[in-house]
Structure 1
Amino acid sequence: MVVRYELVGVDLAGVRFAISPLNELVLSLRAWRDPGRYPVHLPWIRELHSVRDRLDGTTLNALVNNDLWVPDFLTPRPRSPLTRLDDELAVVAVTPAAVVDRDLRLVHPELPPALRGKRLLARILDALTEYWELCLAPHWPRMRALLEADVTYRGRQSAQHGLAAMFAGLSERVSMTGGVVEVRVRTDVHYTRSATGGVTLVPSMWTQGASTPISPEEPPMIMYRARGSGTLWETEPLPAPGALAGLLGAQRAGLLTRLGAPASSTELAVRLGVTTTAVNQHLRALRAAGLLVSARHGRSVLYRRTELADRLLDVSGR
């Protein structure tokens, strides 16, 4: 089935990226429900076994159906790349009871016992908060860095190649023709609506391709698979030419080797499994030596090699 968002005039300028801790929290329950569909996250899933008996697993499991749908009210449209979980939970906490019931019944036509009774919304939020604190909060800096790196990449792609190319790069299920953005979904959802104010694009580690809200009454939003999700729990080796490593040190020589294409310190930190602070120290030193140049792109600073650095790498044999 297909969801279409119609962008007219100023709506095109309203295409924006945002990061949602709450979306990641709720969508990660898909892996809780069916670990076999998320093999790249098995290292994290194994960690859950040690804390599962401390969580409200009955409620958490009930939030996802057999098709891995989750209720729309738990995945509200985030407002920026800096969205905080507490702010999102506050929005959900005031969701009208009729909306909660509607969205739950779109996921479960026959509500399971865990999703009935008094204080339902409060119980759901309590279960999610505890789940966050025990299972996601310890890893969130690493996760957020990966999502921010994706946003930086997509913004650069849009600036260099245009909106249509950027949309096509999100997923094979997404395309843009004229002012219409089309998302082909695997579920029984089909609607066309005006995207007044634009479309919010949200990278996620827990979607296989691209997805949109089930209800056309929800604000226009596309969640798509973030670049690098498959290597989230891995660290890449940092190659460093021997001669250059002797001159600059292994870490700085390795970073120089990586920066043939522009990248942010956040993106490098995720790929290498180190802190952003450590990467920034090395990048500043390399820039001061004339081996890197930097340029601001949105909220990020991108670094790339200079011609001097290229010559050094050629001499050292890369």
Structure 2
Amino acid sequence: MVQVGRAQGGTVDIEFTAEDVARTRFAVSPLWEVVASVRVLKSGDDGGVHRQWAERVRPLLDAARLDLAPLSRLIAVPAECVPSFLVPPPTTPQPSLEVELATLRATPPELLRTRTPGVDASMERLRADPAGELDRLTEVIAAYWEVAIAPFWPRMQALFEGDILNRAIHLAEGGARRLFDDFGPQITWDSGTLQVIRRSGLGVRRLDGRGLLLVPSAFAWPRIFSNLTSEDWQPTLRYPPRGIGTLWERGPQPCSDALAGVLGRTRARLLSELAHPASTTDLARRIELSAGGVSQHLTALRAAGLVSAHRTGRVVLYARTSVGESLVGS
């Protein structure tokens, strides 16, 4: 059972060994975003950071006439948990939705026997016909993905990869303490122990050499979801990435006239847009310039030491250097 963490409550202490630190890794999960986004739609939390997304997606879902019941009835609101089998931890850094759906479709029947508050009736249906119900479930998820998530996935993926890049730099600079420093008040690191504020399941958890999987998630905001107790799954924390408040914004970032006078308007805008790491394609969309033109300007900014380039999988992300940060800050 995946549980939610809040800023108030008790604490679970996750004890790390040296092997756990060595095995701690990052991944993204398209399947988790589907499940978490349906939870957002069910909760009616349209006044939050995802309001613009919800307002755009609801009419599209209505027009598509999708029957989300097989998925929706497995997501209890306001119960603060999600069935673990529904969101298995990704085994690779960037799995496709198809890969994750294949894992879901192959869920062993014994993993459907766990009880989850608020969705027991739906679990009974799954247990009665695992193959048939899992096939229907994956078909619904695939259809929902095409309407509600796929059009926004490139910008979501860029946000996730930028967050992972930033945290990898923090880990290189200051180890585990620096890595967990800015996860917010729900998570703190102290002497080899990660303390997570959670609604329930308090006490001490040992990772037993499995490490911790860290998954940035847009639709987890403002919560942290954890799966720390099951022996069947990799211990996992799903958390809101840095810059989540800008995910659905459409307007350009403000650009200093003084900076534009030195660098030129386009390069100054690009530097301003790199408040968080981004790809050439994402930047081209934001400033309405061709990808080739953006690439030329980024090459110039990189040669001047104002931006750096980092490959993550098949995507190259650009980030401001310390010199670039100081120019924008000024």
Does residue 1:225 correspond to 2:240, yes or no? yes
For structure 1, list consecutive stretches of 5 or more residues without a partner in the other structure.
none
Please give the secondary structure, in 2, of the residue aligned with 1:81. coil
Q: Give the alignment of 1:114-133 within 5 angstroms.
A: 115-116=125-126, 117-118=128-129, 119-133=132-146
Does residue 1:60 correspond to 2:85, yes or no? no
| 1:67-104 deviation digits (Å, cap 9, x = unpaired) | 142211121112343221111111111111221232xx
Of 210, 217, 235, which aligns to 1:204? 217
Which residue is 1:7 aligned to?
Answer: 16
Which residue is 1:108 aligned to?
Answer: 118
Residue type at the aligned position of 2:154: P
Identity %: 33
Which residue is 1:162 aligned to?
Answer: 175
Q: TM-score, normalised by structure 1?
A: 0.82
| 1:255-293 deviation digits (Å, cap 9, x = unpaired) | 34566x8x53339947983589464442113334x3535
Cα distance, 1:296–1:110 mapped onto 2, change above 3 Å: closer
Of 121, 139, 144, which aligns to 2:157? 144
Q: Which moved more, 1:238-247 or 1:4-13?
A: 238-247
Q: Which moved more, 1:247-256 or 1:91-100?
A: 247-256
How far, CA to CA, are the matches of 2:16 and 2:44 in structure 1?
37
* CA deviation after TM superposition for structure 1 residue 21, in Å: 0.8
8 Å Cα contact 1:28/1:206 also seen in 2: yes
Cα distance, 1:115–1:131 mapped onto 2, change above 3 Å: farther
| 1:214-260 deviation digits (Å, cap 9, x = unpaired) | 7422211111111122221103534444466467542212234566x
Residue type at the aligned position of 2:234: P
Cα distance, 1:165–1:240 mapped onto 2, change above 3 Å: closer
Residue type at the aligned position of 2:111: V
Q: TM-score, normalised by structure 2?
A: 0.79
How far, CA to CA, are the matches of 1:189 and 1:132 in structure 2?
34
Which residue is 2:5 aligned to?
Answer: none
8 Å Cα contact 2:46/2:54 also seen in 1: no
Cα distance, 1:160–1:23 mapped onto 2, change above 3 Å: same
Of 43, 64, 80, which aligns to 2:52? 43
| 1:158-185 deviation digits (Å, cap 9, x = unpaired) | 2223212322421311122222222221
Which residue is 1:235 aligned to?
Answer: 250
Of 3, 23, 35, which aligns to 2:32? 23
User: RMSD of aligned C-alpha atoms?
Assistant: 3.5
Q: Which moved more, 1:176-185 or 1:194-203?
A: 176-185
8 Å Cα contact 2:171/2:179 also seen in 1: yes
Residue type at the aligned position of 1:130: A
How far, CA to CA, are the matches of 1:42 and 1:306 in structure 2?
34
